[in-house]
Amino acid sequence: MSGRAGSRSAHYLVTGGAGFIGSHLVEALVARGHMVRVLDDLSTGRRENLAPVAGTVELVVGDIRDLEVCREACAGMDYVLHHAAKVSVAESVKKPIETHEVNALGTLKILTAAREAGCKRLVYAGSASAYGNCAVSPQREDLPANPLSPYAIAKHVGELYCRVFYELYGFETVVLRYFNIFGPRQDPKSPYSGVIARFISLFTRGEAPIIQGDGEQTRDFVPVANVVEANLLACASPDAAGQVINVGCGQSTTINRLAELLIGMTGTACVCGRAEVRPGDVRRSLADITRARELLGYEVMVAPEAGLRETVAWYRDNPR
């Protein structure tokens, strides 16, 4: 497929489409006139996330660990945006087998079903956790993987399956290696939610969040609108097939600085508490987005601070 994303109508399957990132993708695809099917087991996804497009998209409630469910969902689709996953590092430490079954084996099954169905391309939601505690900064896609948790291992295994399906079977795959995504609709009460959702929820209620460790760990925080654009471009770019591509903002922020920004934006007088660092946590994270620019034509549409202001405003209107 050539040309920019959304230039023609197509059929898209979004796995995990009732979740935070997936529902934003679904809305964007519908807005561009595409036909959309969602596969979600609703374990963490919510029907209400699809309320803006209710009656427009098809929802298949099922588990990506079930190959027949995957086959049903992939039938007639042009593109698969694979975002169904267990996404909590902490939960993966407690439940490594379940994490592997969903993130690695589930990915193998959706790849198998998409290839059998004759889909044109699968875009895989990879994770910057593959880099681990990398001494090189910013992190480039050609650096060796060093996953530090069962979650990171399982997500990296999914990347490897994508590569094998492209090189061995000729089935087009693109791995988008996400850094720390945030935005409206992220559930702060879920163990799977990111630090920004939890911090905003607590600050807007006048409660103090807990910072693990010294707070000087850094993250490349990415507003979800940038991730949506990267997915659309990944479907359209002829040069992206078979590639692993970072999706971030190329900007590093400490957790302490994040807390300062959110204190200012929410107007709270709270002081953050402190706790021990989490097992499997990464110290430094910063994306080199050169490859995304070169292969996808990707640019940061929404800067992190603008995304924070938008997200704070959303949580004020939609308290969680």
User: What distances in angstroms separate CA 280 from CA 58, 91, 106, 169, 178, one per listed residue?
Assistant: 37, 11, 22, 34, 17
CB 102, CB 85: distance < 8 Å? yes
Is the CB of residue 41 less than 8 Å from the CB of residue 145? no
Instruction: Let me know if residue 286 belongs to a domain.
Output: yes
Task: Identify the pLDDT of residue 270.
Answer: 84
Global pTM reads 0.92
User: Is residue 3 in a domain?
Assistant: no
User: Does residue 129 sit within a domain?
Assistant: yes
| Residue 298 among the catalytic residues | no
Question: Residue 160 sits in which domain range?
Answer: 11-182+222-250+282-301
Residue 234 lies in a domain: yes
Do the domain assignments include residue 100?
A: yes
70: in domain: yes
Q: Range with the lowest mean pLDDT among 19-33, 163-177, 203-217, 303-317?
A: 203-217
Token pair, residue 199, equals 């911090």
Instruction: Choose between 318 and 143: higher pLDDT.
Output: 143
Give me the catalytic one of 151, 166, 192, 315. Answer: 151
pLDDT higher than threshold 80 for residue 3: no
Into how many domains does the chain fold? 1
Look up the CATH number of the domain holding residue 90: 3.40.50.720
Banded model confidence at residue 8, pLDDT cuts 50, 70, 90: confident
- Name 155's Cβ contacts closer than 8 Å, sequence gap at least 6: 85, 103, 126, 127, 129, 130, 147
- Phi and psi torsions of 274, nearest 5°: -130, 150
In a domain? residue 187: no
For 296-318, the pLDDT digits (tens) are 999 999 999 999 999 999 999 88
Give tens-digit pLDDT for 194-204: 889 999 999 98
Tell me what the pLDDT averaged over the chain comes to. Answer: 93
Q: Which of 103, 102, 159 is nearest to 130 (CA)?
A: 159
Residue 4 lies in a domain: no
Residue 268 to residue 55: CA distance in whole angstroms: 40
Question: What integer pLDDT is reported at residue 5 of this predicted model?
Answer: 46
pLDDT-based confidence at residue 7 (cuts at 50, 70, 90): low
Which residue type, as a one-letter code, is found at position 282?
V
